[in-house]
Amino acid sequence: MTVSTDQHNEAKRDVTFKVFRFNPQVDSKPYFDDYKIPVERGVTVLRALNYIKEHVDASVSFRAFCQAGICGSCGMRVNGISMLACTSQVWEVLAKSKEEGVIKVEPLRNLPLIKDLIVDMDPLVDKMKHYSNWVDSSMPEAEMGKKEFLVSEEEFLKYDKATDCILCASCVSECSILRANKEYVSPAVLLKSYRMNVDTRDSIHDLRLAELVKDHGVWDCTHCYRCQESCVKSIPIMDAIHGIREDALESRGMKDTSGAKHAEAFMSDIEKKGKLVEATLPFRTNGVLWTMQNLLPMAVKMILKRRTPPPPPMVKPSKGIKEFRGEFREMSEHVKQDHKSHKK
């Protein structure tokens, strides 16, 4: 499936689009089709796909709507990275291609595949519902429309950036936790949950937070930062995730859930020794019973392979621990002060 280009114009380049194909009606497994087309500077990946659909193969299927980077329809993986096709320049993508002159286009990951580059967004919508991703106004419905809430610049700035999210699901596609656990809340939903929880007009902060600290919730994130790196709107998603965690520790306490206990164990180890005492970490996070029931077989395997962490007495404090403890306490004090001033 090659479109020949008779004259080779300097302002144009021949680009091969390696497009992921799968039609559940006829295909037992996905494959790639190659489309070689001439592309000039300034053309976006979406315009190139439109060209292929109109001139080469009408059956190539993808979503597109506004074509201006605001509706979020055309999220897909271009050369392995999730992005919006409509705001990605072919020549710029090409400059980073591993295979010269080739651009690989695949559907978003971590969502069920429907056809070609189209994935099912319903699981994301279901999670938005599950985590109450809406403002539940503190104003009674009968009073609405009569007066405004007064919102200060400071309050507004807390959620301003988060409201840029267009639910394109690039972060969902890049999330390393979702790859292992499809039930995980997902970065976009954490971002939206955060945005709702810091909104002073909302009235169900505690309820939402209670859901977020449960299994598959906010504590499952491993800080890989892939969501933030791939966000098409440059939203600091990790700030939102950290924000929810700090909020959870503050309003629900350090003994709340295994996630909070895990964080507390980290803090206490670092303060005491300057490093982790890994052997006892599972006990302190999930309790003795849970650990014995769930991690014993793995522990046995680790012993057999001689990969066990050293027992607690063997973990010696790091060099310069006294000096470090001073700095650590000072830092903790700063964080506390910050939280207090935020609350005002």
**Which positions lie near other proteins, rule CB under 8 A?**
23-26, 42, 44, 53-55, 58-59, 61-73, 87, 89, 114-116, 118, 121-122, 125, 128-129, 132-137, 139, 141, 143-153, 156, 159-160, 163-167, 196, 199, 201-202
96: tokens are: 């980073």
What is the identity of the amino acid at 282? P
Q: Write down the least CB distance from residue 146 to other proteins, Å.
A: 7
Q: Give me the half-sphere count of Cα atoms (radius 13 Å) on the Cβ side of residue 215.
A: 4
Separation in Å, CA 74 to CA 50, 66, 84, 97, 128:
12, 9, 5, 20, 20
Rounded to 5 degrees, φ, ψ at 127 are -70, -35
Which residue is it, tokens 């596609």? 173
Q: Write down the least CB distance from residue 74 to other proteins, Å.
A: 10
Q: Write down the least CB distance from residue 22 to other proteins, Å.
A: 10
Separation in Å, CA 103 to CA 89, 92, 262:
11, 11, 42
Is the Cβ of residue 6 or residue 143 nearer to other proteins in the bound state? 143
Whether residue 177 contacts residue 184, with contact meaning beta carbons closer than 8 Å, is answered with yes
Is the Cβ of residue 21 or residue 262 nearer to other proteins in the bound state? 21
Is the Cβ of residue 145 or residue 297 nearer to other proteins in the bound state? 145
Q: Write down the least CB distance from residue 169 to other proteins, Å.
A: 10
Is the Cβ of residue 106 or residue 202 nearer to other proteins in the bound state? 202
Is the Cβ of residue 155 or residue 264 nearer to other proteins in the bound state? 155
* H or E element that contains 302: helix 288-304
Is the Cβ of residue 89 or residue 291 nearer to other proteins in the bound state? 89
β-pairing, 113-115 vs 75-78, is unpaired
188: nearest Cα among 248, 247, 131: 131
Q: Write down the least CB distance from residue 163 to other proteins, Å.
A: 5
Separation in Å, CA 101 to CA 10, 14, 69, 79, 92:
15, 7, 25, 12, 12
**CA atoms of 330 and 333, how far apart (whole Å):** 5
Q: Write down the least CB distance from residue 24 to other proteins, Å.
A: 6
Is the Cβ of residue 55 or residue 342 nearer to other proteins in the bound state? 55
Q: Write down the least CB distance from residue 125 to other proteins, Å.
A: 7
Whether residue 96 contacts residue 83, with contact meaning beta carbons closer than 8 Å, is answered with no
Cα 150 from chain centroid (whole Å)? 32
Q: Write down the least CB distance from residue 116 to other proteins, Å.
A: 8
Question: In this structure, how many other beta carbons lie within 10 angstroms of the beta carbon of residue 174?
Answer: 26
Is the Cβ of residue 71 or residue 210 nearer to other proteins in the bound state? 71
